[in-house]
Structure 1
Amino acid sequence: MKPFFGLFLLVVISLSCSKEPAITTEMVDGGTLFDPSVYNPEKYLVSRAIPTPTAEQARKPVIIACHGYSATTFEWDEFRAWANGRTDFYLSQVLLNGHGRSYEDFKKSTWQDWQAAIVAEYEALTKAGYQNISLLSSSTSGALLLNLVASGYFANRMAPRNLLLVDPIIIPSDKSLSLVKALGPMLGYVEVDQPATEDKVYYHFRPQETLQQLQSLLTIVRKDLEKGITLPSNCNLKVYKSKKDPSADPVSAVLIYKGTTLPNGQPIDVELIDSELHVYTRLNLREDVTSKDRQNQTTTFTDIVSRVLR
């Protein structure tokens, strides 16, 4: 998920403006550019690439990588590139429903739709016989995964070995998101200040309907954490959280730490990352990437794989 850049101010400015955004064909919003996984799902989803695994393949770890609100599978492309053809695990990059297509598709989607894409790949893999699955998330998909656990989804299913959450959002850094329910209908949409290159892989315009869906999801998960979430048997959880995150307040990690426990009652792992980026594992198309940013990315990718291969 990208920063909102002052939602309340944008509301005030846009009251006299059109509620329909000026979308161009160069944006993913326009419906001309689609996420490549739409055309070639077998290159992104293990369930499509190897639908009938051998016994050896079924035992190999699978990582399902899930992107954030308004993003696409692009958010985990660098992880695939870093893995560089490794054969000791498989990687599925899930495109959340409603994402990576037109603005209208995004506008009418719900947070349950977003979550359903993760569930579909998980169930396809388990049905095919894969025995070792971990779920990797960035930003909003972290909340989607926590909701799956809290809802009891894994109660009568094979549990994931790991939940690995990169910059999960529970509390937005921009507190004006809380105004979207009251002011969203007047706003229509939020325009994000991002480079044209990012317009091809992140929505430039955020419909107020989807912002309301995001707010609803975060409210539900906050309440789940207040009640307490216990992970299913044989499942571990680690949070990787940027210290100065412009989108997901670092207190999100605190809430997850306090509200989530391992099956044996022990606390989960939380690592604070010396970074000022949101989803610090995605560096492509960013400006002013430092050597520290690249070190953070490599260290996190290495840790993720080491946990999956244990």
Structure 2
Amino acid sequence: MTEKHSVMAEAQPFYFEGNKVGILISHGFTGSTQSMRPLGEAYAKAGYTVCGPRLKGHGTHYEDMEKTTYHDWIASIEEGYQWLKERCDTIFVTGLSMGGTLTLYVAETYPDIKAIIPINAAIDIPDMENMQHSNIRFLDAIGSDLKNPDVTELAYDKTPVQSLKEIVLLMKKVKENLHTVTCPALIFVSTEDHVVPPENSQIIYDSISSRNKQIIHLKNSYHVATLDNDQQLIIDETLKFIDKIRNKINA
């Protein structure tokens, strides 16, 4: 699938070469790499090799997104994984919203993943289940659910109904295989989220087979927590978590 529209400046993929520990970072549904770049930059500053792919059909125009499938989004994240594999011995994965769904997918598919950090990850959104049956081609935007009024997410101003059908399929696929996830997991969830019901994170916590797992509740952010008031908390806790896992590996 060739994208007709050019990639927006802030939606470009990002790559930072650092040490032998890689962090794969995924943005969410209808969003762009802009929502994850502050995290990527912070992790690169800490010395890590970081890859933030742009999911196919994202960061251009919603008509491009309409033509993509969840297989395209998986392929985008797998390309990032392969890029890190060539450079790193150890790989961690984190993602927001559908990026969290893809984070779980990667853990289900690649047992060498050392740990995952899903942020407001989506595996069951009844609203989307219902909206996918709409006769309208494009629905209203779902992006930029932020508590901080001074920040805006770079996301589409329309949501293709065809894309809702694809994310519903992806969520179903990932949810069915959650029990196969065994790596350590640090799960972030906003107490108030107007896109993904917060109980998704509890279902993930209960369903994965990881012995080392914890949930951190974000009380001061809505859905796009990576750009919201808890951004620094996410960065700090993630770096602490990765550090702990690395020390265990090297012990």
Say yes or no: does 1:107 pair with 2:66. Answer: yes
Say yes or no: does 1:191 pair with 2:161. Answer: no
Contact 1:245 1:275 in 2 (8 A): no
Contact 2:123 2:175 in 1 (8 A): yes
Say yes or no: does 1:230 pair with 2:181. Answer: yes
Distance 1:87 1:198 in 2: 26
Distance 1:247 1:221 in 2: 18
Distance 1:81 1:62 in 2: 13
1:133-189 Cα deviation digits (max 9, x unpaired): 211110011112222333xx214xxx12221011111233xx332223432xx1111
Which residue in the other structure is 1:11 paired with? none
TM-score by length of 1: 0.68
Say yes or no: does 1:279 pair with 2:224. Answer: yes
Give SS of 2:189's match: strand
Which residue in the other structure is 1:250 paired with? 198
- Aligned residue pairs total 236
Distance 2:5 2:127 in 1: 29
Give SS of 2:195's match: coil
Which residue in the other structure is 1:211 paired with? 164
Distance 1:259 1:301 in 2: 25
Say yes or no: does 1:45 pair with 2:27. Answer: no
After TM superposition, the structure 1 = structure 2 runs for residues 71-82 of structure 1, keeping only pairs within 5 Å, are 71-80=31-40, 82=42
Contact 1:31 1:103 in 2 (8 A): no
Contact 2:185 2:212 in 1 (8 A): no
CA RMSD of superposed structures (Å): 2.6
Identify if the C-alpha distance between structure 1 residues 77 and 171 changes in structure 2 by more than 3 Å, giving closer, same or farther: same
After TM superposition, the structure 1 = structure 2 runs for residues 104-253 of structure 1, keeping only pairs within 5 Å, are 104-126=63-85, 128-150=86-108, 153-155=109-111, 159-172=112-125, 175-183=126-134, 186-192=135-141, 198=152, 201-225=154-178, 228-231=179-182, 235-253=183-201
Distance 1:230 1:97 in 2: 25
1:248-294 Cα deviation digits (max 9, x unpaired): 111101111111022xxx252112221350021213xxxxxxxxx2x
Larger Rg computed on CA atoms? 1
Contact 1:98 1:108 in 2 (8 A): yes
Contact 2:107 2:116 in 1 (8 A): no
Distance 1:45 1:171 in 2: 31
Identify if the C-alpha distance between structure 1 residues 91 and 194 changes in structure 2 by more than 3 Å, giving closer, same or farther: closer
Provide structure 1 residue ranges, at least 5 long, that are not aligned to the other structure.
1-28, 51-56, 284-292
Amino acid at match of 1:177: M
Contact 1:136 1:165 in 2 (8 A): yes
Distance 1:194 1:109 in 2: 18
Q: Identity of counterpart residues, as a percentage?
A: 18
Give SS of 2:23's match: strand
**1:33 positional shift:** 5.4
1:81-116 Cα deviation digits (max 9, x unpaired): 556x62522322221111112222211011111121
Q: 1:302 aligns with which of 229, 236, 239?
A: 236
